[in-house]
Protein backbone atom coordinates (compact mmCIF):
# COMPACT_ATOMS: atom_id res chain seq x y z
CA UNK A 1 0.00 0.00 0.00
CA UNK A 2 1.28 3.48 -0.87
CA UNK A 3 1.12 5.80 2.14
CA UNK A 4 2.71 8.90 0.61
CA UNK A 5 4.61 9.97 -2.50
CA UNK A 6 7.46 12.46 -2.37
CA UNK A 7 9.18 14.03 -5.37
CA UNK A 8 9.22 17.01 -7.70
CA UNK A 9 6.26 18.23 -9.70
CA UNK A 10 6.45 17.36 -13.40
CA UNK A 11 2.95 18.52 -14.37
CA UNK A 12 0.29 20.34 -12.36
CA UNK A 13 -3.36 21.03 -13.23
CA UNK A 14 -6.25 22.09 -10.98
CA UNK A 15 -7.39 18.46 -10.73
CA UNK A 16 -4.19 16.41 -10.88
CA UNK A 17 -0.44 16.45 -10.39
CA UNK A 18 2.29 14.24 -11.79
CA UNK A 19 5.04 13.74 -9.22
CA UNK A 20 8.41 12.38 -10.34
CA UNK A 21 10.09 10.38 -7.59
CA UNK A 22 13.83 9.95 -7.08
CA UNK A 23 13.62 6.62 -8.92
CA UNK A 24 12.50 8.40 -12.08
CA UNK A 25 8.91 7.16 -11.89
CA UNK A 26 6.09 9.67 -12.41
CA UNK A 27 2.82 9.17 -10.54
CA UNK A 28 -0.37 10.85 -11.76
CA UNK A 29 -2.32 11.81 -8.65
CA UNK A 30 -5.82 13.29 -8.42
CA UNK A 31 -5.94 16.29 -6.08
CA UNK A 32 -8.35 18.81 -4.56
CA UNK A 33 -8.37 22.54 -5.31
CA UNK A 34 -6.76 23.42 -1.94
CA UNK A 35 -3.94 21.01 -2.80
CA UNK A 36 -3.52 22.64 -6.22
CA UNK A 37 -3.25 26.07 -4.61
CA UNK A 38 -0.68 24.83 -2.10
CA UNK A 39 1.38 23.00 -4.74
CA UNK A 40 1.44 25.83 -7.29
CA UNK A 41 4.53 27.60 -5.85
CA UNK A 42 6.55 24.38 -6.20
CA UNK A 43 5.55 23.75 -9.84
CA UNK A 44 8.45 24.31 -12.23
CA UNK A 45 11.02 24.10 -9.43
CA UNK A 46 13.10 21.26 -8.02
CA UNK A 47 11.49 21.66 -4.60
CA UNK A 48 10.18 18.31 -3.37
CA UNK A 49 6.53 17.93 -2.41
CA UNK A 50 4.86 15.19 -0.42
CA UNK A 51 1.28 13.98 -0.78
CA UNK A 52 -0.55 11.52 1.43
CA UNK A 53 -2.10 8.88 -0.82
CA UNK A 54 -5.41 7.06 -0.97
CA UNK A 55 -5.48 4.20 -3.47
CA UNK A 56 -8.62 3.15 -5.29
CA UNK A 57 -8.09 -0.22 -6.97
CA UNK A 58 -10.70 -1.74 -9.24
CA UNK A 59 -10.59 -4.37 -11.98
CA UNK A 60 -10.41 -1.69 -14.67
CA UNK A 61 -8.46 1.07 -12.91
CA UNK A 62 -5.86 1.93 -10.28
CA UNK A 63 -6.37 5.54 -9.20
CA UNK A 64 -4.35 7.61 -6.76
CA UNK A 65 -5.75 10.51 -4.74
CA UNK A 66 -3.31 12.88 -3.05
CA UNK A 67 -3.80 15.08 0.02
CA UNK A 68 -1.79 17.79 1.75
CA UNK A 69 -1.96 16.08 5.12
CA UNK A 70 -3.37 13.06 6.88
CA UNK A 71 -6.42 14.99 8.15
CA UNK A 72 -7.55 15.74 4.60
CA UNK A 73 -7.05 12.10 3.62
CA UNK A 74 -8.98 10.89 6.67
CA UNK A 75 -11.90 13.17 5.81
CA UNK A 76 -11.86 11.87 2.21
CA UNK A 77 -11.98 8.30 3.50
CA UNK A 78 -14.87 9.09 5.83
CA UNK A 79 -16.79 10.67 2.95
CA UNK A 80 -16.29 7.80 0.51
CA UNK A 81 -17.41 5.43 3.27
CA UNK A 82 -20.88 7.00 3.11
CA UNK A 83 -23.31 5.15 0.87
CA UNK A 84 -23.80 7.05 -2.39
CA UNK A 85 -20.65 9.16 -2.05
CA UNK A 86 -17.96 8.26 -4.56
CA UNK A 87 -14.40 9.53 -4.87
CA UNK A 88 -15.38 12.25 -7.35
CA UNK A 89 -18.07 13.61 -5.03
CA UNK A 90 -15.79 13.46 -1.98
CA UNK A 91 -13.09 15.36 -3.88
CA UNK A 92 -15.66 17.94 -5.00
CA UNK A 93 -16.76 18.47 -1.39
CA UNK A 94 -13.17 18.91 -0.20
CA UNK A 95 -12.55 21.34 -3.05
CA UNK A 96 -15.63 23.42 -2.28
CA UNK A 97 -15.48 23.57 1.52
CA UNK A 98 -12.27 24.21 3.52
CA UNK A 99 -11.34 21.24 5.68
CA UNK A 100 -11.86 22.86 9.10
CA UNK A 101 -15.15 24.36 7.93
CA UNK A 102 -16.32 21.02 6.54
CA UNK A 103 -15.83 19.41 9.93
CA UNK A 104 -18.02 22.08 11.50
CA UNK A 105 -20.61 21.78 8.70
CA UNK A 106 -21.02 18.05 9.27
CA UNK A 107 -20.93 18.09 13.06
CA UNK A 108 -23.35 21.02 13.06
CA UNK A 109 -25.79 19.32 10.67
CA UNK A 110 -25.61 22.09 8.04
CA UNK A 111 -27.14 20.20 5.12
CA UNK A 112 -27.78 23.45 3.23
CA UNK A 113 -24.02 24.08 2.97
CA UNK A 114 -23.41 20.55 1.72
CA UNK A 115 -26.23 20.77 -0.84
CA UNK A 116 -24.54 23.86 -2.30
CA UNK A 117 -21.73 21.60 -3.56
CA UNK A 118 -22.18 20.46 -7.16
CA UNK A 119 -23.34 16.84 -7.30
CA UNK A 120 -24.58 16.68 -3.70
CA UNK A 121 -28.34 16.38 -3.41
CA UNK A 122 -30.56 16.63 -0.34
CA UNK A 123 -30.54 12.88 0.36
CA UNK A 124 -26.77 12.62 0.03
CA UNK A 125 -26.20 15.65 2.25
CA UNK A 126 -28.49 14.21 4.93
CA UNK A 127 -26.80 10.81 4.70
CA UNK A 128 -23.34 12.38 5.13
CA UNK A 129 -24.50 14.19 8.26
CA UNK A 130 -26.26 11.16 9.75
CA UNK A 131 -23.34 8.80 9.07
CA UNK A 132 -20.48 11.11 10.05
CA UNK A 133 -21.87 13.49 12.64
CA UNK A 134 -20.87 11.30 15.57
CA UNK A 135 -17.48 10.49 14.05
CA UNK A 136 -16.47 14.10 13.59
CA UNK A 137 -15.97 16.77 16.19
CA UNK A 138 -15.06 20.19 14.88
CA UNK A 139 -12.34 20.61 17.47
CA UNK A 140 -10.83 17.13 17.48
CA UNK A 141 -10.47 15.43 14.09
CA UNK A 142 -9.65 18.63 12.24
CA UNK A 143 -7.55 21.16 14.05
CA UNK A 144 -4.78 23.57 13.26
CA UNK A 145 -1.38 22.05 12.64
CA UNK A 146 0.81 23.00 15.58
CA UNK A 147 3.87 25.16 15.17
CA UNK A 148 6.52 22.58 14.38
CA UNK A 149 9.96 23.35 13.02
CA UNK A 150 9.47 20.52 10.52
CA UNK A 151 5.84 19.55 9.91
CA UNK A 152 7.03 16.32 8.29
CA UNK A 153 8.06 15.02 11.72
CA UNK A 154 4.58 15.67 13.11
CA UNK A 155 2.92 13.88 10.20
CA UNK A 156 5.34 10.93 10.32
CA UNK A 157 4.75 10.47 14.04
CA UNK A 158 0.99 10.76 13.49
CA UNK A 159 1.00 8.18 10.69
CA UNK A 160 3.07 5.73 12.77
CA UNK A 161 0.75 5.96 15.77
CA UNK A 162 -2.38 5.55 13.62
CA UNK A 163 -0.78 2.45 12.07
CA UNK A 164 -0.32 1.11 15.62
CA UNK A 165 -4.09 1.23 16.04
CA UNK A 166 -4.76 4.54 17.79
CA UNK A 167 -7.50 6.79 16.42
CA UNK A 168 -6.50 9.79 14.31
CA UNK A 169 -8.36 12.17 16.64
CA UNK A 170 -6.63 11.01 19.84
CA UNK A 171 -3.22 10.92 18.16
CA UNK A 172 -3.64 14.43 16.80
CA UNK A 173 -4.66 15.76 20.19
CA UNK A 174 -1.68 14.22 22.00
CA UNK A 175 0.91 15.16 19.36
CA UNK A 176 -0.42 18.72 19.16
CA UNK A 177 0.12 19.07 22.89
CA UNK A 178 3.60 17.56 22.70
CA UNK A 179 4.77 19.74 19.82
CA UNK A 180 3.40 22.89 21.39
CA UNK A 181 5.57 22.19 24.41
CA UNK A 182 8.59 20.93 22.43
CA UNK A 183 8.48 22.02 18.75
CA UNK A 184 11.86 20.41 17.96
CA UNK A 185 10.88 16.86 18.93
CA UNK A 186 12.18 14.16 16.58
CA UNK A 187 9.82 11.48 15.25
CA UNK A 188 11.03 8.68 17.54
CA UNK A 189 10.94 10.96 20.60
CA UNK A 190 7.40 12.10 19.78
CA UNK A 191 6.19 8.53 19.31
CA UNK A 192 7.69 7.35 22.61
CA UNK A 193 6.19 10.27 24.55
CA UNK A 194 2.82 9.89 22.83
CA UNK A 195 2.66 6.18 23.67
CA UNK A 196 2.87 7.10 27.36
CA UNK A 197 -0.09 9.46 26.99
CA UNK A 198 -2.44 7.48 24.75
Mean pLDDT, each 10-residue run in order, the chain (198 residues): 92 94 92 91 90 90 92 93 93 90 90 90 94 72 48 79 81 84 82 84
Q: How far apart are CA 31 and CA 40, in angstroms?
A: 12
**Same domain for 98 and 57:** no
**Same domain for 39 and 8:** yes
Q: How far apart are CA 4 and CA 51, in angstroms?
A: 5
CA distances (Å), origin 72, targets 26, 31, 100, 197: 23, 11, 9, 24
The three-state secondary structure class of 9 is strand
CB 87 within 8 A of CB 66: no
Q: Residue 31 has what pLDDT?
A: 95
Which of 105, 132, 159 represents a domain boundary (last residue)? 132
Residue 101 belongs to a domain with what CATH number? 1.10.150.20
**Same domain for 108 and 121:** yes
What is the pTM for the complete model shown? 0.70
**Same domain for 125 and 76:** yes
User: What total number of domains does the chain contain?
Assistant: 3
Q: Report the chain's terminal Cα–Cα distance, integer Å.
A: 26
Q: Residue 101 has what pLDDT?
A: 87
144 found inside a domain = no
55: domain range? 4-67
CA distances (Å), origin 184, targets 151, 167, 174: 10, 24, 15
Ranges of H-type helices in 67-167: 70-80, 87-96, 99-107, 111-115, 122-132, 151-163
Residue 175 belongs to a domain with what CATH number? 1.10.8.10
Residue 43 belongs to a domain with what CATH number? 2.40.50.140
Give the count of beta carbons closer than 10 Å to the beta carbon of residue 5: 19
Amino acid sequence: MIDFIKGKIDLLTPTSVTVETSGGVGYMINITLPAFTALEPSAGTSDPVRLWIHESIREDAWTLYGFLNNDEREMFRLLVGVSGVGAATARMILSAIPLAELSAVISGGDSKRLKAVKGVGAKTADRIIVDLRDKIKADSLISETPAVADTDTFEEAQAALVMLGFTAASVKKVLTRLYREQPSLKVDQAIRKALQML
